[in-house]
């Protein structure tokens, strides 16, 4: 367990790395005794600093939702971070690749909450009832720490969140079978990845149910209007300046974005 001063020092190091675009040493390397509780508190301090600097928290992201990623990270459950409004883009955006250190991109679904969802015992059907609509989304992931990383490093680093791109056609959660939504991801005209949303814990809303139960222990939860990234159903694709990305979700439309 870290001291308050050590947690603050870790948060400030990650914030400085984000601002300078130069990775910092892994917190777990500096403090091998670091716990998951420490890591989430470092994340909270980082987010508070970003908010104090003018950003606004507009939702949550969930990571490590696939079994393969959990095994690779030696975790038995997902992790989570926050979404900030100054890293929120729309379909057709031209994004400066230099905003990030080493960006990668994943295909996901975003849930936009139509009602508060708070309390233990949350199930998938509770998530669907509280969701206003589901829409295609791309997550840009970016790490501010050196490698190799432990799970506590990733959590402290806001679960590697870089940015989110929203687009496509929103749908109400009961109008489609969310498990069977698929997508192809093209990079510069070549299809690099395909995936099915059932790859996210069997149902893309399952991660949100997990998150609500996790936050309940803190007296927190999801709020009306929150954007929640449910987790990737493709592997991450490296992004460079000059790349043109096109994610085709079939009946849910597509997202196109370019990097300069």
| pLDDT, tens digit, 9 for 90 and up, residues 131-165 | 999 999 999 999 999 999 999 999 999 999 999 99
CATH pick for 59-259 out of 3.40.30.10, 3.40.50.300, 3.30.200.20, 3.90.850.10: 3.90.850.10
What digits encode the pLDDT tens for the residues 84-111?
999 999 999 999 999 999 999 999 999 9
The pTM for the full model equals 0.96
Q: Please state, in angstroms and rounded to a whole number, the distance separating the CA atoms of residues 164 and 101.
A: 16
What digits encode the pLDDT tens for the residues 234-256?
999 999 999 999 999 999 999 99
Please name the residue ranges forming H helices in 60-174. Answer: 67-73, 124-130, 151-156
Can you give the pLDDT at residue 64? 87
Can you give the pLDDT at residue 66? 73
Q: Name the CA dihedral angle for 109, 190, 64, 230, rounded to a multiple of 10 degrees.
A: 0
Residues in contact with 16: Cβ distance below 8 Å, sequence separation at least 6, in sequence order: 24
| Helix, strand, coil percentages, rounded to 5, for the chain | 35, 30, 35
Q: Please state, in angstroms and rounded to a whole number, the distance separating the CA atoms of residues 237 and 98.
A: 16
pLDDT of 37 over the 70 cut: yes
**Helix, strand, or coil (residue 83):** strand
What digits encode the pLDDT tens for the residues 42-100?
999 999 999 999 999 999 999 988 765 666 556 678 999 999 999 999 999 999 999 99
- Average pLDDT of the chain, as a whole number: 96
């Amino acid at each position: 367990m870290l001291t308050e001063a050590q947690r603050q020092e870790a948060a400030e190091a990650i914030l400085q790395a984000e601002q300078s675009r130069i990775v910092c040493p892994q917190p777990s390397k500096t403090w091998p005794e670091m716990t998951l509780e420490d890591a989430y508190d470092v994340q909270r301090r980082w987010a508070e600093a970003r908010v104090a600097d003018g950003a606004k928290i507009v939702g949550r992201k969930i990571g490590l939702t696939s079994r393969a990623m959990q095994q690779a990270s030696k975790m038995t459950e997902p992790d989570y971070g926050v979404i900030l409004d100054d890293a929120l883009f729309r379909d057709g955006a031209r994004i400066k690749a230099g905003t990030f250190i080493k960006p990668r991109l994943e295909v996901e679904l975003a849930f936009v909450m139509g009602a508060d969802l708070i309390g233990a015992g949350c199930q998938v059907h509770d998530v669907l009832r509280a969701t206003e609509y589901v829409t295609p989304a791309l997550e840009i992931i970016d790490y501010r720490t050196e490698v190799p990383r432990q799970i506590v490093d990733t959590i402290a680093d806001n679960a590697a969140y870089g940015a989110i791109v929203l687009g496509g056609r929103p749908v109400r959660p009961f109008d489609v079978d969310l498990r069977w939504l698929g997508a192809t991801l093209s990079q510069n005209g070549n299809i690099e990845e395909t995936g099915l949303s059932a790859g996210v814990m069997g149902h893309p809303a399952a991660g949100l149910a997990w998150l609500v139960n996790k936050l309940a222990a803190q007296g927190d939860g999801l709020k009306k209007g929150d954007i929640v990234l449910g987790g990737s159903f493709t592997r991450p694709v490296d992004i460079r300046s000059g790349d043109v990305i096109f994610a085709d979700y079939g009946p849910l439309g597509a997202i196109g974005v370019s990097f300069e």
